[in-house]
Amino acid sequence: MRTRGLLSWRGALLVLAALILGGAVGWALNDLIPTANADPSGSPRPTPSRAATDGHLTFTLEAFGCGLTAVQGTHSEGEPTAGAFCRLRLRVDNHDPDFHDYVYANQRLTGVPAANAKPDAFAMAVRRQVDRITIGGHSAVEVELWFDIPKTAKPTGLLVSGDNDPSGFRGDGPSLHKPGGVSLRATPADLSPR
């Protein structure tokens, strides 16, 4: 009996030692393995051709597709009035220590008639996307943008518009804001039903 208790005690100690050693090795290696998509602050680095900065905000186009024949949410659904919906998923990073606002209505789809370049208010409401988001310092959000465009339109990208705050946390002067937005060129995937 005494031997059996001694063996389980030693076994438990061996398991505990293995867990501690494994955790220590993993922790040490984590600092040695470079992260391919991160800058020194720990924020993901945007893909150069799919990212743009305006004001204190950096926009990264994560997904872009057109040809959708309906929008559906938790409380409503609907069809496009112009012809088809385009859906974009956008990551918005605030690299400044202070908070800054992102306003969805300031973003514009390019390559479509001016009347269809603004996000569609109905589709945005169905998808429960808020009008304005205050993004905390060194934080990011992912948002959806929905546009109702003619079926014959050929979108070429997005004009992203960030904040127009006079300065950031350190007060280093005005942010680099371009009136009208900064171009993010992209070709949408065809999401039309087959």
Domain ranges in the chain are: 1-33, 48-190
158 in Cβ contact with 61 (< 8 Å): yes
Give the closest residue to 108 by CA, choosing from 171, 156, 74, 57: 156
What is the predicted pLDDT for the residue at 149? 98
pLDDT at residue 123, as a whole number:
97
Task: Give the residue ranges of the chain where pLDDT is below 70.
Answer: 1-49, 167-175
Distances from the Cα of 65 to the Cα of 42, 144, 154, 185, angstroms:
29, 11, 11, 13
pLDDT of residue 93: 97
pLDDT at 37: 39
pLDDT value of residue 39:
39
Radius of gyration of the chain (CA): 24
- Going by C-beta distance under 8 Å and a sequence separation of 6 or more, which residues neighbour residue 27? none
pLDDT number for residue 180: 85
- Please name every residue paired with 132 in a beta bridge, in sequence order, or none if there are none: 103
**What top-level class would CATH report for the domain 48-190?**
mainly beta
The whole-number pLDDT of residue 40 equals 39
